[in-house]
Structure 1
C-alpha cells in the first residue's frame, strides 16, 4: 500500500466532461498542485452518495481556502457513470475521475475484491497530495467511515 511521503504511481485516469472524454496523466492531475483525492467503493452506493461525496461538495470552498487547488473523487467505475453521479449530486467543485480498469487503485495497493458486489473496487480513503507526493493518507477499515470524511481531511490541512 502506498504510504505518506511516497510519490503517486504514473497511471492515467479518465474524466468525461461537457467537452468530451479526457485521459489524464498524473502530471496533469498532480504536478505543481496541492490536491485532495478521495476514493469510494462505488458511485451511486449508499454511503458514497448519502455522505462521502456530499460532504466534500459542502466543504469544497473551505477545503480550497486552505490552499488546495483541486478536489478529486475516484472510483472503479467508468467515466460515464462518474459523470452521471457527479451531475446527480451537483458536484461542480469536484473532478469526478474514473479508474475503470482499477489500474490506479491497484498501483496504490488500495484495491479490494468485493466478489459478487462488484468485483475489484477501491478501498474508501482520502489523501492529500502535494506535487505528486502523498502528504496525508487516511484509509478506512472495512465498513468504517471516519478518517476519509471531508471534515476529517479539512482538520488535517
Structure 2
C-alpha cells in the first residue's frame, strides 16, 4: 500500500472525562453542539483507562444514550471489568452516533421523550372519568 492509499481513521471526537457516580461521564458541550447531538441520541464510544503516565492500559466499546447535560453512563459490568472508580479520568473516543429522531417516526419519538422526562398532567375528576372510560372501551 502506498502512502497515497493509506487511510487514516480518526474518531469524531477524542477527549478526557472524569467518571462520576454510577459510571456517568459527560460528552462536552462543544462536541455535542458541533455534531448536533441532543438528549436521547445514541452515542458509540470507545473508552480507554489510563496508567499513571496517561497511556492506555485497557479499552472497550459501548453504546449509550445521552441524557441531560450530555451525560452517558458506562455499563455497570464494564466498570467492574475495567476497574473504573468514581473520580477516575478516562479517555473517550466518540466514534459514531444515531439520532433517534431521524430513524423513529415522529409520534413514537415524542412518546419516548415524554417517558424520558417523566412528563405528567394534573387532571380533574371529569378528565379521570373520561380517561378510564376510553381505556376500558379499548380493552373490552
TM-score (norm 1): 0.24
